[in-house]
Structure 1
Amino acid sequence: MSQRFALIIDPAGPDEERVDYSGSFTLVDAEAPALSVGELSTQRGDGVFESIGVIDSHAQEVGPHLERLANSAHICDLPAPNLEQWHQAIAVAAAACPAGEWVIKLILSRGVEHGPTPTAWVTAAPASDFSAVRRNGVKVVTLDRGYPLDVAERSPWLLLGAKTLSYAVNMAALREARRRGADDAIFLSNDGYVLEAPTASLILRFGDRFMTPAPTGGILHGTTQLSVYEFLAARGFETGYARIPASDLTNADAAWLVSSVRLAVAITDVDGQNLPADQSLTADLNNYLLSPRD
């Protein structure tokens, strides 16, 4: 197959029950034009998405990703996705991925402007090589997101709890981090609390306790963070969620950014201050995250 794979989906209603949705998928050339110029995903970023890691043709954490896709659609007033249809589309895409690490993306858009139905598609492509960053870790800077911690509850139209296609701010934050000599960024609320990274969740270690910022409406609940917590709990560690002051970042015994494709990377420096890196645990986490998980 080519280095990319794409399926256009004819969205089924959430209450439609079929055994086989294969007739609703259309294989297209991933290198050729496939979307209308009136598509609102490209005009306005009006849609939601998920990125799913694929290991040796096995799509990871499909259930949690589909639940989050449905939640994002609900927040954005998009039609509810038929999860069985998406599940079958993911299976088709994963089966087309050769051995190694790939990434499947699910995209649900509001569709063509003034059109009657949403647009939906699935793509698969080789994942970037993250072996070096998993081994060496990352330097991060903290950036003010510009909102207080409770903004999502007071201003739901900001869509902060949804994984939307409007990622320009996230990408700008990564560029700013690199301008400051770092690899990544961690967002802070303007009232001084830790949030998340532009494309990852944050986990902090304090002794034998592992904490992540509480997944309120302003923080995307990470599927990989949930898997990491399952691994840590099985090893007898305490895990939890909390409102974490920014000052706790540099007081942590260790910290990680975790995401579906990059997996677990240790944070080695925060705003120019060194942070201990637990290389052994990081390796254990990535070995677990590279194992098949549903």
Structure 2
Amino acid sequence: MSAPEHLLLVEHDVEGHATGWVDADPQSSQLRVTDVAATRGDGVFETISIGSGHPQALDAHLERFARSARMLDLPEPDPSLWADAVRALAELLADHEEAWVKTVLTRGVEGQSMPTGWAYGTVSGDFRRERTEGIDVVLLDRGLRSDAAATSPWLLAGAKSLSYAVNRAAVREAARRGADDALFVSSDGLLLEGPTSTLVLRRGAELLTPPTDLGILPGTTQVDLFAAAPDWGLQGRVATLRPADLEEADAAWLVSSVRHAAPVRSVDGAERSIDSELSAAMNGFLRRRLR
């Protein structure tokens, strides 16, 4: 039996303002072939976890959605309209413990001024193995210095854009090397992020994550984990990290909205220990979030 899926098309006027949304058939053609989402990857998106009908970290996701839109000079998404669309899809998926909704905003059809927008929702895959047994990770050079976001803002470092060819290529390269996922490193040797995830390390009683001014995406899941950290006797802190810090850490995770907290069990083939108890606590917390 196929997973349920639902689609809402967000309508805009010629000035780029969202005017409402309508139900659509996710199995029918909806996107014009000249839309720059398809031809240029010119747009932004967010993927929001849904727990038993409750959108998780919705405000943070919509704030990041708007931030990415500003970075690409797209019309400002109406937060209340997009929030209503996400909640409507979440309600349709309320019978499932874990689901997700993706919001997308593109520059629209080539040569026209009206953006294209939609929200799509379906059930999450099974990530029990990744959350319990962990994942194998390889370090990949991103080919940019850690200050690229400041020196070259046109590279859109830190924007959640539809231009994901590099991210997907990194995952394929990880697979070629016998790993599950990748972790980017700047050309000057700083740890950054995964293609679809945020790095979190545990060192003693601290949880550490790299700073977003290195041109990485602000992690909504990481923020929620740091807020919960005192419940586990830990404190969260943003810190500049290098591969040696990853090697010396007591434990490490790649965290994201849908897969949640995946403990890192090896880096470049070198095995490392997994904090199974904390991993279970993190994933239990993330599944139970009601906001």
Q: Which of the five TM-score ranges fits, normalised by the shorter chain?
A: over 0.9
The answer for the alignment partner of 2:71 in structure 1 is 75
> What is the RMSD of the two structures over their aligned residues, measured on CA atoms?
1.9
SS in 2 for 1:284: helix
SS in 2 for 1:42: helix
The answer for the alignment partner of 1:86 in structure 2 is 82
Contact residue 55 and residue 90 of structure 2 kept, 8 A: yes
The answer for the alignment partner of 1:112 in structure 2 is 109
In the TM superposition, what whole-angstrom CA distance separates every residue of 1:85-144 from its partner, at most 9, and x where no partner exists? 101111111111132211100000001111121110000011111011111100100000
* 2:177 corresponds to 1:180: yes
> 1:27 is aligned with what amino acid?
D
The answer for the alignment partner of 1:225 in structure 2 is 222
Structure 1 Cα separation of the partners of residues 234 and 180 of structure 2: 29
The answer for the alignment partner of 1:7 in structure 2 is 8
The correspondence for 2:58, drawn from 62, 69, 79, is: 62
SS in 2 for 1:225: helix
* 2:255 corresponds to 1:258: yes
TM score, norm. by length of structure 2: 0.95
User: For this pair of structures, how many residues does the alignment match?
Assistant: 289
Q: 1:1-294 residue pairs with structure 2 within 5 A?
A: 3-11=4-12, 24-97=20-93, 98-216=95-213, 218-294=215-291
SS in 1 for 2:193: coil
In the TM superposition, what whole-angstrom CA distance separates every residue of 1:181-236 from its partner, at most 9, and x where no partner exists? 11111000011010000000000111111110111151001000001101103434
Structure 2 Cα separation of the partners of residues 292 and 13 of structure 1: 38
In the TM superposition, what whole-angstrom CA distance separates every residue of 1:230-251 from its partner, at most 9, and x where no partner exists? 1103434121111111221111
> 1:109 is aligned with what amino acid?
T
> 1:94 is aligned with what amino acid?
A
Structure 2 Cα separation of the partners of residues 13 and 193 of structure 1: 43
Q: Where in structure 1 are there 5+ consecutive unaligned residues?
A: none
Structure 2 Cα separation of the partners of residues 272 and 102 of structure 1: 32
TM score, norm. by length of structure 1: 0.94
How much does 1:8 deviate?
Answer: 0.3
SS in 2 for 1:35: coil
Contact residue 51 and residue 287 of structure 2 kept, 8 A: yes
Contact residue 51 and residue 289 of structure 2 kept, 8 A: yes
Residue identity (%): 42
SS in 2 for 1:220: coil
Q: Which runs of 4+ in 1 moved over 4 A?
A: 12-16
Structure 2 Cα separation of the partners of residues 63 and 13 of structure 1: 27
How much does 1:15 deviate?
Answer: 12
SS in 2 for 1:24: strand
SS in 2 for 1:93: helix
Structure 1 Cα separation of the partners of residues 182 and 146 of structure 2: 17
Contact residue 6 and residue 121 of structure 1 kept, 8 A: yes
Contact residue 12 and residue 85 of structure 1 kept, 8 A: no
How much does 1:11 deviate?
Answer: 3.5
Contact residue 16 and residue 113 of structure 2 kept, 8 A: no
Q: Where in structure 2 are there 5+ consecutive unaligned residues?
A: none
Structure 2 Cα separation of the partners of residues 139 and 235 of structure 1: 25
